[in-house]
Amino acid sequence: MMQLKDRKIVLGICGGIAAYKCPELCRLLLKQGADVHVTMTASACRLVSRETLEALTGHPIATDVFTAPGQIGHIELCAHADLLVIAPASANTIAKLAAGMADNMLTAAALASPCRLVLAPAMNSRMYRHPATQDNLALLQKRGALIIPPAEGDLACGESGVGRMREPHEIVAYICALLNRTGLPFAENTLLPRPEAPRGLPEQKLLPKASGAGLRVVITAGPTEEPIDPVRVITNRSSGKMGFALAAAARERGAEVTLIAGPVNQPTPPGVRRINVKTAQNMLDTVKEQLGHADIVIGCAAVSDYRLAYVYDQKLSKEQQGDHLTLTLIKNEDIISMVGHSSPRPFTVGFAAETTDCEQHAKEKLERKNLDLIVLNDVSQSGIGFNSDDNAVRVFDRDGEAAAFGKAPKIVIAAQLADLIFEMYKKQHAKA
Ligand SMILES: Cc1cc2nc3c(=O)[nH]c(=O)nc-3n(C[C@H](O)[C@H](O)[C@H](O)COP(=O)(O)O)c2cc1C
C-alpha cells in the first residue's frame, strides 16, 4: 500500500554529512507515492549531488531565493505541502530557524511555510548536546516543530555518541505514521537516552523521558535453526525485524538491552549488546545465562518447537534415502515458559503468532507459561507479521486485553510496546 499517495513532502537538506542518505530518503518517499520537492542549502550542495536529487524527484531544486523557479519560490514551495521535513538538520540551520532567519531558500521557505515542520537533526554529539542547540530545538518544539531524535552510534567525525541522523526507512516510517495518524515510532518531542552531561555544561533540557533507564532487558529475536545434516536445517519464517525494533525502542528509552538473535540479516541497533545463537538449545542456554541479569525478558524469537533426534554428520543423499525420508523430531524446552517459571522471576513477555482461535490460544499461553504479558500476532492476516515491515498486535495480561495496536510499521509497534511494557513493569513493582 502506498502510504503517502497524493501527499506533497518538501525535503530540506542541510550541510551535514548525512546528506548522502538523502537520495535514498527521496527514493523511499517516492516509493510510498509522495510528490517530493527538495530544497537544499549551499553547504548541502557540496555534500550531495543536486542533479541526482533533481533526477530522482523530477523537480528543479532551488537553493537561493533569487534563482527559484516560479514567481516567489520561497512562498510557493511549501504553500500546498503536507509536511516540511528537514533532514539532515544542521546545527547552523536549527539556530537560524530558531532565530527566524530567512537567508536562503530553505530557511525562507520554512518561515513562510503553513505546514508542519519535522526536523531530523544530525551532527557531532558535542554540537548536539551544546546548550545552544538544545535551547534552539526546545524553542522550535515549543512552536510546534516535531523532532526525530538522532540515534546513538558511530559518527562521521570518527567519534561515537548521540547525533546520527535516523536511517531513511525510519524517517519514512515516522512521516507515514504522522500523516496517517497511526502513532509515532519515536516518542513525540523526546530525544535520545540521556547522554552524560559534559563537564561544566548544565543538564540537557531536551533529553528524553528515559522510561527504561536503570532496567536490564533481555530480548530474543529471529528464528532458530535445527540442523538435519551439514547442509540442511529446519527453521521458522522470522525476519527478526520485530525483535530488533523492540531492542532499539527499549535502548532508546534508556534500558540496558541484550539481544539474543537467531540467524537473521539485521543490523544491531546502536547501544544494544547482541549475542548470536543458532539452535533452540543455544538460545535456551544463553537466556539461562542472562536470566540473573534481567529485569524484563521479552521472548520475540520464533523458536523451533522440535529438533532432530539424530543429526546426520554426512549430507543425506536422495540416492541413499529413496522416495521417502522419515525424520524423528523431539520437543525442545519452551524458553519463555522456562523464564516465566524461573525464580527469581523477571517480568516476562511472550509473543504468540497464531492463525486460528487467536485470542483463546494467546490467553492459554499466558496462563500456561506464567507470563505477565502476551503479544498476539494474527499471522493469518496478509501484510503483517512474518517477514513484513508492518505489524498489528493485541496485548493481553491476566486481567484481559491490555492494549491493541493497529497496523503500522514494526518500529512504530515496537515503540508502543516498549512504552506499555515499561509502564506495566513499573506498576507491578510499585505494588510490590
Ligand atoms: C564534511 C562536513 C560535514 C559536516 N557535517 C555536519 C553535520 O553533520 N551537522 C552539522 O550541523 N554540521 C556539519 N558540518 C558543518 C556545516 O556544514 C556548517 O555548519 C554549515 O555552515 C551548515 O550550513 P547549512 O546549515 O546552511 O547547511 C559539516 C561540514 C563539513 C565540511
Interval between CA 120 and ligand 1 midpoint (Å): 14
CB atoms within 10 A of CB 168: 20
Q: Does the CB atom of residue 44 touch ligand 1 within 6 A? A: yes
Q: Does the CB atom of residue 45 touch ligand 1 within 6 A? A: no
> Under a CB-based contact definition with an 8 Å cutoff, are residues 210 and 250 in contact?
no
- Residue closest to 3 by CA, chosen among 26, 23, 28, 39: 28
Interval between CA 429 and ligand 1 midpoint (Å): 46
Q: Which ligand 1 atom minimizes the distance to the CA of 93?
A: 25
Q: What is the CATH number of domain 8-179?
A: 3.40.50.1950
Interval between CA 17 and ligand 1 midpoint (Å): 7
Which is catalytic among the residues 78, 115, 157, 300?
157
Give residue for cell 493481553. 396
Interval between CA 12 and ligand 1 midpoint (Å): 14
Q: What is the DSSP string of 206-218?
A: S----TTTT-EEE
Residue intervals of the chain classified under CATH 3.40.50.10300 are: 216-431
Provide the pLDDT for residue 45. Answer: 96
The whole-model pTM stands at 0.60
Q: Does the CB atom of residue 342 touch ligand 1 within 6 A? A: no
Residue type, 199: R
Displacement of CA 216 from its chain's centroid (Å): 19
Beta bridge partners of residue 225, listed in sequence order: 235
- Residue closest to 126 by CA, chosen among 150, 107, 96, 145: 150
Q: Does the CB atom of residue 133 touch ligand 1 within 6 A? A: no
Interval between CA 148 and ligand 1 midpoint (Å): 18
How far apart CA 413 and CA 391 sit, in angstroms, is 7
Q: Whose CA is nearest to atom 1 of ligand 1?
A: 17
Q: Which ligand 1 atom minimizes the distance to the CA of 90?
A: 11
Q: Which ligand 1 atom minimizes the distance to the CA of 96?
A: 25
Q: Does the CB atom of residue 90 touch ligand 1 within 6 A? A: yes
Q: Which ligand 1 atom minimizes the distance to the CA of 14?
A: 27
- Residue closest to 391 by CA, chosen among 353, 335, 348: 353
Q: Does the CB atom of residue 17 touch ligand 1 within 6 A? A: yes
Q: Does the CB atom of residue 125 touch ligand 1 within 6 A? A: no
Interval between CA 92 and ligand 1 midpoint (Å): 7
Show Cβ contacts of residue 395 under 8 Å, excluding neighbours closer than 6 positions: 373, 374, 375, 376, 401, 402, 403, 404, 405, 417, 420
Across the chain, which has 432 residues, the per-10-residue mean pLDDT values are 89 96 97 96 96 95 77 83 96 97 95 92 92 91 87 78 90 88 56 36 43 92 95 92 93 90 91 94 97 95 95 89 91 97 96 88 96 89 69 92 88 90 92 70
- Angle (nearest 5°) at CA 40 between 37 and 43: 165
Q: What is the CATH number of domain 216-431?
A: 3.40.50.10300
Q: Does the CB atom of residue 163 touch ligand 1 within 6 A? A: no
How far apart CA 307 and CA 298 sit, in angstroms, is 22
With left for phi above 0 and alpha for psi between -120 and 50, is residue 6 left, alpha or beta? Answer: left
CB atoms within 10 A of CB 226: 23
Q: Whose CA is nearest to atom 13 of ligand 1?
A: 16
Interval between CA 163 and ligand 1 midpoint (Å): 13
Q: Does the CB atom of residue 40 touch ligand 1 within 6 A? A: no
Residue intervals of the chain classified under CATH 3.40.50.1950 are: 8-179
> Under a CB-based contact definition with an 8 Å cutoff, are residues 194 and 213 in contact?
yes
Provide the pLDDT for residue 406. Answer: 85
How far apart CA 197 and CA 256 sit, in angstroms, is 19
Cis peptide before 344 (omega within 30 of 0): yes
358 has catalytic annotation? no
